[in-house]
Structure 1
Amino acid sequence: MARDQSVPDDDGQHGNDRLLDRRSLLKWTGTTAAAALATTGVATAQSSRSEPEAADPSAMSERTLDVSDGDDLSSHVSNSSNGELLVVPEGTYKWNSRVSFSRRNWGIRGDGDVTIMIPSSWGTNGRQEFLLNVTGDNVLVENLTFDSDGRPGVGMRCIVDTVASIRDIHIANDGPRTWDVAHTRAFAVGAGSSNGHVELDGITIHNNGNIAQYNGGHSRVGVWCSRSGRLTVRNSVFSGFPNNAIYTRMPGEMLVENCVFANNSPSSIRLGGDNEVVRNCTFYGDFSLDGTTSSYPGRGVTNASGIMADRRERASDGGTVEDCSFIYRDVSNATGAVRMFDNRRLTVENCQFLLDQSNVPGVGIQRRTTVDVSDCIFDTENDSGASALGGSSSNYGTVRNISVSPGLSNGAASADRDDLEFDWDRAHDYPNPSFDDSDDDGQSEDDEDEDENELPNTIVFDGDGSQEISEYRFAVDGEIERSEYHSEYGTGGEFVDDDVVEGWVRGGVDGFRFEGELADVELDGDAIVRVNGIEVDPDEYGNEDEEGNENDSPSDLVFDGEGGQEISEYRFVADGEIERSEELSEYGTGGEFVDDDVIEGWVRGGVDGFRIEGDLLELEVDGDAAVYLDGERIDPDDVGDDGQNGSDDDDESGSDEPLLNSVVFDGEGGREISEYRFAVTGEIERSEYHSEYGTGGEFVDDDVIEGWVRGGKDGFRFSGRLTELEVDESATVHVNGVSVDPSRLSL
């Protein structure tokens, strides 16, 4: 059941009577707040941009569920339809069955205090055991508490085209504490469109896990995202997660603000990319504050860092941490409050560190990197002697305006002063913080109206209430914006390019504003098309196509489990852009982007569909799923080499196909440790698809990995060729799926 979350004694939490006035820091640096932000272009851009779109409940019709205390809500949710906002009356209910569907303009909202009891065994034997798995678009989940008599991994998956909002969700029960099994992620979210946005606001999860149970990367994650759209997490609390509180491998923007994190391993936030910002968050490393443990009897590791700067898979170098507070007092291990891992550069500014644990530095270094640190305070209340900046001076770019307490070590750089102190008024409390809802996004509604009116022309695709899908595509020689005013129950379309939009309507309306001339309009279906309010014939546009290249249209690729109970795993590579198609999918899992042009995934009975540009270069299926390309069933073995989609130019030139080779170290369930080391001439990435209960290895250099397995599997993808391969003990080694003896290879 839900725990009694004790509130720390104010006298204990705010015992520092030497509070720093923030204005004194700004006066000391000789700057204003605006000037401080101006030193970082990323921070300025993030701060000044308008608030992205959130889920729109006005596109949904409210329906109050006729339920009583103890009733099963899952059956009501399963039977809901597009365009409905389910309102759950105050009470306590059950959720007996997992729900998976695709919905548009759909939501569920609690009216008052709504508690939903979850079976105690859920989410403890697989990462995909979600109580709700919803795809589609314009999805809203709001004001619900999930609880249980046991320790299930309560989880929700929400993958949309453009927009979803998940607000005021409380997972009240403790999370699982089981070894060597996968745990379901609390939230697996993302927007497929690069213009899309998923927001999580007001999430509270005190997971209270055993953070040593990393389980080879299969244990519980707070928030997972690997999609192209923007992710925002704000006003939320995450604690006690053994596999990161927020774990992203995404090319899109991320903003985490006004949140509290405590005792998460190997980090609270995995940060990687110039478009990722963490702002006004507080990080605690102190086991005395909650029920989190770190017990590892001969197995398991922990690293309770606040920020882990990581660039693997779809992440990249860069990131900004600003206006944050870090408090480290009692954790079993942490490389640093801020931990530099694979990410090669990071900006840390206007932050404060309270370092009361001697072996936890403010910034810890694990890889070759450059960190810019400015306007920061490093303090201690017990003269811990911890290092403010770990590593060496070569790991830092700009270090300016820092204050390091006499009770700490400066570390890799000299301090400007030593008398500024940690300000508890700037830090959020834990475990029950009070968030300030006042956000200044710098954009007024009048500004948005002006933006809408700047584009003088309109084009509308009206499904006219039909149940049939009408697909459309249009191009202009100017700018395009989606018009909410001219849309109703539509899907919003996708920007194929800045001046090209593709989409579909089923009964609803998609409307856009644009400037310039319409260069092309295509319609497959019976939707009505209006330009500037006048109905038009799409065939009247685009007849002067220069080359008439109809083959440029995307192909449909579908993996159909055909209702079977067995899992079919798949992997494919294209030489162009890949997008997940909700229209072609049904009860699927959506796959994961291993690279921009590589997808891996699986289906069990359901259907995963994709649209791909260009040729299909590689296709692998392990299982009985049927594969369809543009509606015709194909044999995966015919793809590539001399198959119909292979290119004669591909030959052996793997340089244009990134990370198409694989190497797997398989402990085969044994109890002995097998150490390994390998090197390549190209790039290396860890492959979740080829790994199971492994340790992940460590990068000795960009092209060299060392690691070990005990029973589990560590898998990697790489480009180029192997130059070194060593294995100690009995692990089996597979290269590109073929078992090899490293001692017999000529490298």
Structure 2
Amino acid sequence: MKLAGATTAAAAMFATGSSADEDDYEVIEASGQTINVDNETFENKLIDVSNGNAITVSVGDDATIRNVGVSGLYQGDGFIFSIGGGGEVEFDNVYLGDGANKTGGDHAHGPGAVFYHRNASADVTFRRMNVQGYPNNGFYCSNSANGGAITWIDCYGKNNGVSTFRAASGEDSLHNCVAYNDDTDYSTDYGSWGGYTEDSGRPLWVHSPGGVVAEDCHFAAGSYPSAVLTHDGANATLDGGAISGGTSGAVDTSSAGSDPDLSVPDGVPTSPEEAVSGNEHGGSGSGDDEAVGNGDDEELPNALVFDGNETTNATRYEFEVAGDVEPSSGEDADIDGSLVHGVVADWSEPFRFDGDLEQLTLDGPATVSLDGDEIDPDDYGEEYPHTLEVEGEGEPTSFEVTVDGSIDLESSAAEDDETTTVSGSTVQSSVTDDTVTVEFSGALTDVTIIDGDATVRLDDDVIDSDDYGDHKLLPHALVIDGTEDDDPSEYTFTASGAVVESTYQDATIDDDDVIEAQSVTGDVDGHLDAYWFDGDIEDFTLVGNATVDIQYNVREQ
């Protein structure tokens, strides 16, 4: 799953370091106090509310709440966690699963778990949270419409009154989350709600104009009429996952199944003690990067994170380590032994590894951090770590080379050859009895021998050009021309067959354009983009006034 499919705030902060030992946490007895957390980390705390007293953790600017468990039935009137600051706020590995009861007071619905204030402006990420049995919402975050974005990742909610996930902003999103009602008798399991039953139980409630996407989430309404409800012009889309129960408002469930998996997501703590000890998936440490989704911190002690959160432009990356490497949450990277390459846009991709970071290249605006500290890729290895040689065999041979990264022509003779062009990540040239050499970063995605024969070597090893790219001599061309329009145009399309960026009709090849399988996203702003493709164009969307031209079998013309 792509974390935020991916979305702008779809990446939680990365936890580095080791988990807390069983006795390596502080016990806080509730006594009506307020604990202020501002520009700091509040972690490894067991909050004991079994004495019936209230407690408030006031979350300010750039705060992190990690490895925290609330033990006992909560009998206060307000919310335990109250978010009122700005910047980046993170919750990771937090247990609020012992529930609460309604005792009267200022809040009509009784106590709640997490509240996002109307005057808050923080971008908040909740990861691996367990929230159950709170009468006044599990996550009351519909005030995010006033500023900030909320992201839930691997969160679990059960039997929360009013709603479990209460969202608003068009930037809010949920990923691999579960919420449901099983008609629990609260007087037995969570204490009396004082007879309050109205509006109890929406798994997801979306307020105010703006769309919220729930990716791979599972919701069940129980006896409540709606598992997902939208309000005041809002809309919700379930992308994957499953839903049981009705919906109300603008809810798109066309991509969701009907048999939700209501088990606790991997890594979510199931007790206060498990949370404060930093369970096997739980985080502890600096919190400056994305959370570990899998892997063993002791076996793979180093954390490398590619962060594209600040921009929607794509960044291609490649790195090589001296030991083992595995992704922490992203699934899209290509890992070949200790060599990794991939693409990141408005999300983050974290990795764990051991040994030294030997090689790192970055093509695009993303940043990269190592064990919580931002690093300069130029400090690690060569700018162009790979070499490709095309050696002629005595007859004129044209070829085209494309990489998923940056490319540089090394052969000085070819630089002076009018038949040689270098555009973006593609080189087109010809050889007879000479050799053209290019250096590049990233992955070799295509070698096309257009006519004749040549010997091709990748990093000194002879390769078969047919093994690289399934788009050799793709027959059709798609051209998006923005040269006659003063304003930029954005486009997306999907082909039924392979697709590759091209310099056809002197088109540019842009690092910002993203190709994922047969789907392409890009833009033109005073220039022209072109693609070779096979099959048909199954879907095309254009925002702007660029012209679009599809030319079939153009290679034969």
Larger RCO (CA within 8 A; separation ≥ 6): 2
For the aligned pair, the TM-score class normalised by the smaller chain equals 0.3 to 0.5
> Which of the pair is proportionally richer in strand?
2
> Which of the pair is proportionally richer in helix?
1
